Each structure stands twice: as structure tokens, then as C-alpha cells.
Amino acid sequence: DVLAAPCDIREPDQISAFVAQVLERFGRIDVLINNAGGQFPSPADQIAPRGWDAVIRNNLNGTFFMSREVASQAMIPARRGRIVMVTAMVARGFPGMAHTGAARAGVENLTESLAVEWTQHNLRVNCVAPGNNIRSSGTERYGEEMLELTRKATPLRRLGLVAEVARVILFLASDQNDFVTGSIYRIDGGQRLWGDIWPIPDPIE
């Protein structure tokens, strides 16, 4: 049995109605995967207020409001639930997309905050942060030259697979995970420890 329904996660009222619809249909919510997001490349000094707000509302605010609504309507009353955030590799900043870097870093801190606050309700809250070296429909737009640079910047010397990210999410969402909460899982083949494909610009005279 599957329910598909539109919901703009930037609008708290739509989230509340959507969660109520899910509960009416299924009676409970065991797992929430916060995977929605969107951004666009831009130098920081060229990000307009409207563009900044759009990314923050989508990637940070939407994640919080969805988590809050699912927890308050379903998981806290049931005293059980698993929440998994999906962010990106922002451990060393996100040059070229500062808006999403700030939003994703906020989600990682939110993960740690909610994990502590909601442990009294028997919830587990964790985060998966895939690197930009996971081969997917999105990375195919980079072109082979960029993908090769990304591979060389990865200590494991290959690109990751979507299935490798999914396996970690599956564990965190399952009953097998009973003692992990507030953790950030960086799935990047060690990229954050070594390589980077973002060139450091020369000083402008």
C-alpha cells in the first residue's frame, strides 16, 4: 500500500496536513527520511537574498518542520521512531554553493540537537552525508573530466554508489539501530580527509 501526495516542505501548513493524511491512511509513522533539497551553483557575492532564502527554506527549514511535525504527531505519542537526515559533504565548507553549505551544516547541528532532546521519547535521529563523489543521475551532469578529477581526489580511488549510501540509511532506519543517535555518517571514500576539486583562486590585485 503506497500513498503519493504533493507537499511543499517550505510550507508548514502543508506539512501538517500531509502528515495527518499519512496517519489517517496508515495509522503510524515508523521512519522519516529527510532527503528533499535543492540548490544552484553561484559565487557567494552573487547570491541574491531571494536565492539565499529559497535554499535555506528548502534545505534547512523544510527539514526541521517535517521532523517536528512527524515527531509531534506520530513518533513522540508512539514513543518510537527513526529519523534520518540526508545532507552533503560540508565538513570543510561548500565553496561555490555557500547557501546550501550553510543549510546542510545547520541540518547536521539540528540532527545532534534533536537526538538529545528526543531521546526521552525513544527516538533515534541520525544524519547521512554523501560526498560529491557518489555516482548518480545528478553527477552525470558534471561531465567525464570532472568525474575523473573527483575520482582522483578520493583516497579509495573510485566513485561511490547510490546503493552504498542506501545501505547506511537502511541500517539507521531499522530496528537493528538501537544505540546510535546524533551521529553524522560521511560516505565519501575518505574524500574529506584528503582531496578537493575546488581550486583556490589567486588573490585579485
* Domain boundaries defined on the chain: 12-193
Using DSSP's 3-state secondary structure scheme, residue 123 falls into: strand
Q: Is 122 left (phi over 0), alpha (psi -120 to 50) or beta?
A: left
Are the beta carbons of 70 and 81 closer than 8 angstroms? yes
Measured in degrees and rounded to the nearest 5, phi and psi for residue 123 equal: -95, 155
- Separation of alpha carbons 23 and 12, rounded Å: 17
The dihedral through the CA atoms of 155, 97, 104, 169 has a sign that is negative
C-alpha cell at 5: 501526495
| CATH superfamily to which 12-193 belongs | NAD(P)-binding Rossmann-like Domain (3.40.50.720)
pTM greater than 0.75: yes
What is the model's pLDDT at position 126? 99
- How far is Cα of residue 64 from the mean position of the Cα atoms in its chain? 11
Name the stretches of the chain with pLDDT < 50: none
Provide the pLDDT for residue 96.
86
Q: How does pLDDT run across 54-93, given as a tens digit for each residue?
A: 999 999 999 999 999 999 999 999 999 999 999 998 888 8
Q: How far apart are the C-alpha atoms of 106 and 94, rounded to whole Å?
A: 13
> What is the spatial distance between Cα 124 and Cα 80, in angstroms, rounded to a whole number?
8
Amino acid at 199: P
Q: Which amino acid is at 132?
A: N
pLDDT score, position 184: 97
Q: Are 166 and 136 in contact (CB under 8 A)?
A: no
